[in-house]
Amino acid sequence: MEYPSLLPRFLKYVKINSRSDEHADRFPSTQREVDYQMVIMKELEELGLSDVHYNEKAGTVIAEIPSNVDWDVPVMGFLAHCDTADFNSENVKPQITENYDGESKIQLGDTEFYLDPAVFPNLKKYKGQTIISASGDTLLGGDDKCGDAELVTFAEYLLQHPEIKHGTIRLGFTPDEEIGTGAQHFDVADFGAKFAYTVDGEGPGKLDWGTFSAAQFELDIQGVNVHPAVAKGQMINAIQVGIDFQNALPQDQVPEKTDGRQGFFHLMDFSGTVDNAHLAYIIRDFERDGLESRKDLVKQIVADLNKKYGGDRIKLKMWDQYYNMADELAKHMEIIDLARDAYRACGMTEINEDPVRGGTDGSQLTYMGLPCPNLFAGEENMHGRFEYTVLESMWKAVDVLIKMSELNAERAKK
Ligand SMILES: [Zn+2]
């Protein structure tokens, strides 16, 4: 269905810079995120939603679409994040290509950059549709302003169409998803839903309920620095110890050599001198056991090297980041089925449930007691200048939210 207010709303949102900042020591990480959230909050108030408020501790704008049925329906929630990724987001100038022919290159503004179907074959799927991109110097911010605009448009539609029967629906607009810190502040009790969905995914038909399990570690290596002339048998070069550690890991289990369901160790930072070296890694695995054995391997290599070089030369700091939500969602398959049924009812026959080689806010929320798969929002080429979205995909996402609301109420009646 067409929702006339969706495009102007989306264009208004993407023009507001709401980039998060992983180096900030405040929460939410930037004031501009909060300023943007206030724009959404004002709109929710004007549309007449209930219980519209900003939960300061959680940095979340929360609102309710009240139930319009006289039976009990499990409270369902939808979430979208308000920050954008770590890429220039100042002065976003959205560019609209109507009735795209499915084969031409789309120039981004007057820059040397193009959306080229030879490079980005997904574009071919959108022949005849409306492509919204940025203009070469910035990202678009469709991740996740697609989700933001879809949720507000969905709420507006339900309030204007009381003939559509639904239970209580809670909406949440969260900060700092892109830097991975937003979800840990989330206030599950105040949000008040029994289950929820983030609306922050790719094109129509994508349904995410499997993610990596993730850990992170850092090595601090203390060397022994003596003059190279008399170093024999005395110098311990911290850089070399770091190289030894890296070489002891399975060399084919790195991001650039893995895909599908394979996990990896990823060396993200390596800096140092003879005296001291610092290494930072992330570990990813779809299986929880797999994550644990990778962590054990790291501990084992550190222990071996400490034995070899003597003392407590390598200090290891390791912590878990999030777990594969599939393990937990397997206990709540009815909420996956609800999404699947809504997708099909909205004409998507092929549902892509490939696990995400990453995490979502839902990976953390699911383990905080709010089961939370991720729905498609129409995002393409996220996180850079080639980002785009498709108006028809966004309309379809709103269709799905409405259908899920109806189905959830129908099921509770039986
Ligand atoms: Zn996102």
Whose structure tokens read 């850092």?
218
Reported as a single tens digit per residue, the pLDDT across 80-134 is 999 999 999 999 999 999 999 999 999 999 999 999 999 999 999 999 999 999 9
Tokens for 400?
A: 């799905």
Whose structure tokens read 């005296």?
275
Reported as a single tens digit per residue, the pLDDT across 129-162 is 999 999 999 999 999 999 999 999 999 999 999 9
Percentage helix, strand, coil for the chain under 3-state DSSP, each rounded to 5? 35, 25, 40
Residuewise pLDDT in 10s, the chain (414 residues): 999 999 999 999 999 999 999 999 999 999 999 999 999 999 999 999 999 999 999 999 999 999 999 999 999 999 999 999 999 999 999 999 999 999 999 999 999 999 999 999 999 999 999 999 999 999 999 999 999 999 999 999 999 999 999 999 999 999 999 998 899 999 999 999 999 999 999 999 999 999 999 999 999 999 999 999 999 999 999 999 999 999 999 999 999 999 999 999 999 999 999 999 999 999 999 999 999 999 999 999 999 999 999 889 999 999 999 999 999 999 999 999 999 999 999 999 999 999 999 888 999 999 999 999 999 999 999 989 999 999 999 999 999 999 999 999 999 997
The whole-angstrom separation of Cα 184 and Cα 59 is 11
**Distance of CA 209 from the midpoint of ligand 1 (Å):** 15
**Distance of CA 201 from the midpoint of ligand 1 (Å):** 7
If 0-12 CB within 10 Å is exposed, 13-18 middle and 19+ buried, where does residue 240 land? middle
**Distance of CA 296 from the midpoint of ligand 1 (Å):** 31
**Distance of CA 233 from the midpoint of ligand 1 (Å):** 52
Reported as a single tens digit per residue, the pLDDT across 181-206 is 899 999 999 999 999 999 999 999 99
**Distance of CA 144 from the midpoint of ligand 1 (Å):** 5
Residues assigned a catalytic role: 83, 177
**Distance of CA 36 from the midpoint of ligand 1 (Å):** 16
Sign of CA dihedral 110, 390, 12, 185: negative
